[in-house]
Amino acid sequence: MKAAVYYEAGPPTVFRYEDVPDPECAADGVLIDVEAVSIEGGDVLNRAGGDLASRPHIVGYQCAGTVREAGANVSDRSAGQRVVAVMPFGSHAAMVAVPAQATWPLPEGSETVAMACIPVPFGTADDCLFEFGKLQKGETVLIQAGGGGVGLAAIQLAKRAGATVLATASSDDKLERLKEFGLDHGINYREQDFVAEARRLTDGRGVDLVVDSVGGKTLQGSLESLGYRGRAITVGHAGRDDTPVDVGALGPGNRSLTGVFLGAELALNRDRAWAMIARHIADVASGALRVVVDRTFPLAEAAAAHAYIESRQAVGRVVLIP
């Protein structure tokens, strides 16, 4: 099969489009013909500096396609069935082999490209907001990087739950686009001090919850944006900023900081997390929630797709098509 591979971590130019051996279907797994690959933030970070499981390495957490083969012990998936799947690595390829329990069936008539973009960003956003963030109706939430996949999902879910939604982005144009998804107040972090603006928009009180996928100095500001008993969620590290965070800002206001990793929930609390993501798949299929695909690239152009993501021009998902 064809795959976008690399032999060492580094810039997008490390990608090579090569023939690699077909993956093998395990007894408890499925073999999937990949039709759409949603590039996740973690994919970009892993390519830039993560460990390689093998050489050549195929990066990628998430994809959708059609089951080619189901293992001997699998009774709830079958050849010809469309699914979306998550995995530790391997999505940037024409085929993937994954455990059957790491897949979700796609609703009849749903768009494969949109479905490929759901589990990781919507599952992550839901856990950040509700399972760990404890967001309640009437509260105020600040979502960092509102134009990303997790950000767009979080804006929609928070607004649907009755929260007042603030979000940051790098331009006024991006922020304007986010309003149709439920954004109440946008903050251009390149032109405004987002801490001061978050406090101004809450009449000096501070926000109840922050979802921060950037880290470093931004996370420090997120803590300073919190009101009394506010909660901050740190998820991912998109900013690649290793500035240490001073948690001393938490104590005086009885605030809290929680790290969230969806992969741990899928492994250790699988039934809850799987059912939660299944609900989001159904909601996107029905139109109750929306996936935004900024641009698609052929799998052979994985380098260009990753470079485009790193340019921070995208609003929503960037998808590879094998």
> If you average pLDDT over residues 253-257, what whole number do you get?
97
Q: What does the alpha-carbon distance between residue 81 and residue 105 come to, in Å, rounded to a whole number?
A: 7
> Which secondary structure element, helix H or strand E, spans residue 126, and what is its range?
helix 119-126
CATH number for 97: 3.90.180.10
Name every residue whose Cβ is closer than 8 Å to that of residue 53 and which is 6 or more positions away in sequence: 88, 89
DSSP state letter for 52: P
pLDDT at 243: 82
Cβ contact 138:163 at 8 Å = yes
Neighbours of 253 (CB within 10 A): 15
- DSSP summary character for residue 260: -
pLDDT digits (tens, 9 = 90+) for 135-148: 999 999 999 999 99
Please check whether residues 106 and 128 belong to one and the same domain: no
Q: Which of 227, 245, 263 is the last residue of a domain?
A: 263
User: From its phi and psi, is residue 81 left (phi > 0), alpha (psi between -120 and 50) or beta?
Assistant: beta
Is the omega angle on the peptide bond into residue 99 within 30 degrees of 0, that is, cis? no
Residue 240 scores a pLDDT above 70: no
Residues 134 and 242 in one domain: yes
pLDDT tier for residue 244 given thresholds of 50, 70 and 90: confident
pLDDT recorded at residue 238: 63
Residue 271 lies in a domain: no
Q: Does the pLDDT at position 278 exceed 80?
A: yes
Strand partners of residue 169: 188
CATH number where 195 lies: 3.40.50.720
Question: Are residues 128 and 103 part of one domain?
Answer: no
Give pLDDT tens digits for 13-69: 999 999 999 999 999 999 999 999 999 999 999 999 999 999 999 999 999 999 999
What's the chain's length in residues?
322
Please count the structural domains in the chain.
2
Same domain, 231 and 138: yes
DSSP structure class, residue 130: I
Sequence-distant contacts of 263-266: CB under 8 A, at least 24 apart: 263/88, 265/123, 265/127, 265/131, 266/86, 266/102, 266/123
Backbone dihedral angles phi then psi of residue 178, each to the nearest 5 degrees: -75, -15
Looking at residue 239, its pLDDT comes to: 57
Domain hosting 242: range is 120-263
Q: Does 148 lie in the same domain as 111?
A: no
Do residues 207 and 223 both lie within one domain? yes
